[in-house]
Amino acid sequence: MEGHKMAVIAAAEELVQKVMGTWDSSHDPFHAFRVRDLALSLASEENIPPDSLLVVELAALLHDVDDYKYAARGEKALNNLESFLKEHNVKLEIAEAVVKIVTSIGFKEELGATGHDPISPEFAVVQDADRLDAIGAIGIARCFTYGGSHNRRMHDPAEAPRTSLTKSDYASGDVHPTTINHFHEKLLKLKDLMKSQAGKRRAKQRHEYMLSFLVQFQEEWEGVC
């Protein structure tokens, strides 16, 4: 059993390298590995039982292997997650839990939602880990990397952030917000969307770091410092 588990994790790491290795560094294999490490660390703080850690680790590792943003660009017709779970004979209950987490953790899934179904502790730590990697110093770096790779403008004072986003608005490829506006439209909202107590604790410092960065950015943009 333990040998199969280790083999599945090693294969998941290999798939991440294969699929995400050519993507820009905002969504490269290192992102998946950081999310895995964060999720396992949060799981430890949340006292998630050892029997559930395979769900946490696989969901964290594989959460972006079918990322719609890259599939939409025609780089690959993505259907990696379920194929992987079947190919490696992952137990049905584990596979179903992983798929449910991966297909539900995205920010766009919460936009416009009128209520929330009960969530599992495993879901909470994987989603929080992914969101922690989107904020703080790493989050700032990833945001500008993604914006640059998509030829987005860094900032335009005449373009206000969208104050009310729907799921279709967020997923649309027709709108290209500036990188600074992405902070206001998404990243600054993530602290209050954390699900686990451990995630909430860690998000505070990263959130404050982003706020201080944005103040400094604006002052430099205006030439006042």
Q: What pLDDT, in 10s, does the model give residues 151-194?
A: 999 999 999 998 777 666 666 655 678 999 999 999 999 999 99
Query: Do residues 179 and 154 lie in contact, with contact meaning Cβ atoms separated by under 8 Å?
Result: yes
Instruction: Tell me 91's DSSP state.
Output: -
| pLDDT (0 to 100) of residue 56 | 98
pLDDT digits (tens, 9 = 90+) for 31-90: 999 999 999 999 999 999 999 999 999 999 999 999 888 865 444 445 899 999 999 999
pLDDT for residue 176: 75
Query: Does 29 score more than 60 pLDDT?
Result: yes
Percent of the chain with pLDDT over 90: 78
The total number of structural domains in the chain stands at 1
Of 164 and 219, which is predicted with more confidence? 219
The span from the CA of 65 to the CA of 78, in Å, is 8
Closest CA to 39 of 31, 107, 22: 31
* Residue 112 binned pLDDT confidence (cut-offs 50, 70, 90): low
Tokens of 69: 């943003």
- Our separate counts of H helices and E strands in the chain read 11, 0
Rounded Cα distance, 12 and 65, in Å? 10
Domain containing residue 116: 2-221
pLDDT at 177: 86
- Indicate the pTM of the whole model: 0.91
Element (H, E) at 141: helix 136-149
Q: 117: helix, coil or strand?
A: coil
CB atoms within 10 A of CB 223: 6
| C-alpha to C-alpha distance for 98 and 83, rounded to whole angstroms | 13
Confidence (pLDDT) at 143: 98
Distance CA 217, CA 154 (A): 11
CA distance 225 to 217: 10
For residue 153, what pLDDT is reported? 95
- Percentage above 70 pLDDT, the chain: 89
Residue listed under structure tokens 């390298």: 17
For residue 40, what is the domain's CATH number?
A: 1.10.3210.50
